[in-house]
Amino acid sequence: MARDELNLDEEEKKSGPGKMIIMIVVAILLIGGSVGATLYFSGALEKTDEDKKKELAEINPTLYLKLEPEFIVNFTAEQEVNYIQLEIQLMARQQLYLDQAVQNMPAMRHQILLLLSGQKYSELRTLVGKEKLRADVLAKVQEVLGTNPKAPGIEAVYFTMFIMQ
């Protein structure tokens, strides 16, 4: 029996490090699983850009500035329509940026008028064309105001009236 006991002790010594490694791996998996489950059920993994924008909007509400009077521009060359009439509003989250837009209104209106006068009816009649124009107007406004594209003061431009005749 002494020999049998010796063989058991040798087997336990051989399997001892293997058991320890398995226990460590299982512990790591349990800890990782609990952290993953906590993040998943808390919703931390599901925050989208829209959620971040909503949080930002709660901190800084949106402010609007209507550019008056509305823009009326004749189309160049012979096209199906003669002119375009637009009412534009700027959106920012701080009054400082809208005040800056008011101070630079002549230069901003000039750049927008030049941009509008070069448009073509065939492009503006589509939604894609209108969205491109909106992005171009926003770029011109930001250019005039000298804002940083990564943290723009004027965040959006909205057409509140769009008539082509």
* Interval 114-132 mean pLDDT: 89
Listed range (9-23, 51-65, 94-108, 137-151) with the worst mean pLDDT: 9-23
Q: Which long-range contacts (CB under 8 A, 24 or more apart) does 119-128 make?
A: 119/73, 119/75, 119/84, 120/75, 120/79, 121/75, 121/79, 121/80, 121/81, 121/164, 122/79, 122/80, 124/84, 124/164, 125/164
For the segment 28-39, what is each residue's pLDDT rounded down to a tens digit? 988 888 888 887
Q: Which domain holds residue 124?
A: 57-164
The answer to whether the predicted template modeling score (pTM) of the entire model surpasses 0.85 is no
12 and 65 fall within a common domain: no
Amino acid 135: pLDDT: 94
- Same domain flag for 80 and 6: no
CATH number, residue 67 = 3.30.479.30
Q: How many structural domains compose the chain?
A: 2
Has residue 2 got a pLDDT over 60?
no
